[in-house]
Amino acid sequence: MNSPVGCDYAGSGEKMTRRKAQSKNGIAVGKIAKYCLVTPVTVRRWIRKSELSAIRLPSGHYRITVADFRDFLERYDIPIKEELFESESEKKGGDK
């Protein structure tokens, strides 16, 4: 299942170049688990069952885009903490 070309979206088989994967600001499985008050095993199960979209890195780890995580939270009526989705410039108080 490893591809020398790059990464794939978990469960979709859709290929993605390494540069595109690294340019995405992905959220690690552990952070998703902590936010949802579940274990990382549960998050990986959601990914395998295609309930949560994720990018699989060449190392085998997963990253979830902010947009995919927000979509997941909305779909399953999980409360959204807006500060999680602020951009870095908004956190620093800048309006660039």
Q: What is the pLDDT of residue 83?
A: 82
Looking at the predicted structure, is the pLDDT value of residue 2 above 50?
Answer: no
Q: What is the pLDDT of residue 86?
A: 73
In a domain, 94, yes or no: no
In a domain, 93, yes or no: no
In a domain, 67, yes or no: yes
Q: What is the pLDDT of residue 95?
A: 55
Residue pLDDT, tens place only, 62-93: 999 999 999 999 999 999 998 877 765 455 56
> Residues with Cβ < 8 Å from 27, sequence gap 6 or more?
63, 64, 65, 66, 69
Domains in the chain, number: 1
In a domain, 30, yes or no: yes
> Residues with Cβ < 8 Å from 57, sequence gap 6 or more?
7, 21, 63
Q: Which helix (H) or strand (E) holds 82?
A: none
In a domain, 13, yes or no: yes
Looking at the predicted structure, is the pLDDT value of residue 8 above 60?
Answer: no
State phi, psi for 20 to the nearest 5 degrees. Answer: -65, -40
The CATH code of the domain that includes 15 is: 1.10.1660.10
pTM (2 d.p.): 0.67
Residue pLDDT, tens place only, 27-74: 999 999 999 999 999 999 999 999 999 999 999 999 999 999 999 999
In a domain, 77, yes or no: yes
Domain carrying residue 19: 6-85
